[in-house]
Amino acid sequence: MANEKILIIDDDDDLVLAMRLPLEAAGYKVFRAMNGVEGLQKVKEVNPDLIILDVMMDSTTEGFQVSLTLRSPDPKSEYQAYSKIPILMLTAIHQTTPLRFGPDQEYLPVDAFIEKPIEPAKLLDQVRKYLKK
């Protein structure tokens, strides 16, 4: 369990704070990136054990784009080494994004969705679950 690294990619400072506090209290090390580009950089830098990604930052598909890049099937992709890191995506209900992924899709760029508003207990549950895998 020793200090697993969690990378949060989200542009909303308040939301990040709401998540950072319970996560650090549970003993995780929290890193943060402001947007998709910075996020991908930080992944290479930090090599996190889990990524929390907001679905919508500047554009409606920014979150999915990051996950698609990280999990690109292209064997020559520079993110190959990071394609197995679990990704949790933050969404608000009713948020309509053009990409919908269902359980029958063979290629799921994220592992689970976390609905806003953040409930620390639920967040910690999910994090624990996916770090174990």
Partner 1 sequence: MNLAALRSAAQASSVPVEAELVPSITWLIRIRWLAGIGVIGATWSADVILRVALPTLPLYAIGLTLLLYNAAFYAIVRHLARQPARALGPYDLLTKTQIGFDWVAMTALIHFSGGLESPALFYFFFHIIIAAILLSMRATFFYAGMAALLVSAIGVLEYAGYLPHYAVLMSATAGLYRQPLFVLGITFFFISTVFVAAYLASTLSARLRKREAEVVALSKNLLRAYTRLETVYETTAAVNSSLELEQVLDQLVQRTAHALNVRACSIRLLDDTGARLTVAAVYGLSDAYIKKGDLILAHNPLARQVIAGQTVIVNDVTTETRLQYPRQALEEGIRSMLSAPLLGKKGPLGLIRAYSTEANHFTQDDAEFLNAIARQGSIAIENALAYKALGQLDEMKSRFVRTVTHELRSPVSVVRSLLHTLLGGYVGELSAPQREMLQRVQHRADFLQTLIDDLLELAAGKMDVHAQPALEPVSLDEAVRRVVERFQIPAQEKHITLEWHCECPEGPVKIAATNEGIDRILNNLVSNAVKYTPSGGRVAVRMFVREQRATIEICDTGIGIPEDALPHLFEEFYRAPNAKAQVKEGTGLGLAITRDLVTRFGGHISVQSKVGHGTTFTVIFPILIELPV
Crossing angle for the helix pair 36-46 and 62-70, to the nearest 10 degrees: 30
Angle at 78 between CA 73 and CA 83, to 5 degrees: 50
21 binds partner 1 (CB under 8 A): yes
- Name which position in 18, 30, 108, 131 contacts partner 1 (CB under 8 A): 18
30 belongs to the binding site for partner 1 (CB under 8 A): no
Distance (Å, rounded) from C-alpha 8 to C-alpha 50? 9
Tell me: does residue 34 bind partner 1 (CB under 8 A). Answer: no
Could you give the string, one character per residue 88-107, with x where binding to partner 1 holds by CB under 8 A and - elsewhere?
A: ----xxx-------------
H-run or E-run covering 35: none
Question: Based on CB atoms, which residue is closest to partner 1, 43 or 89?
Answer: 89
Whether the CB-CB separation of 73 and 84 falls below 8 Å is answered with: no
Residues of this chain that interact with partner 1 (CB under 8 A) are: 12, 14-15, 17-19, 21-22, 25, 92-94, 116-121
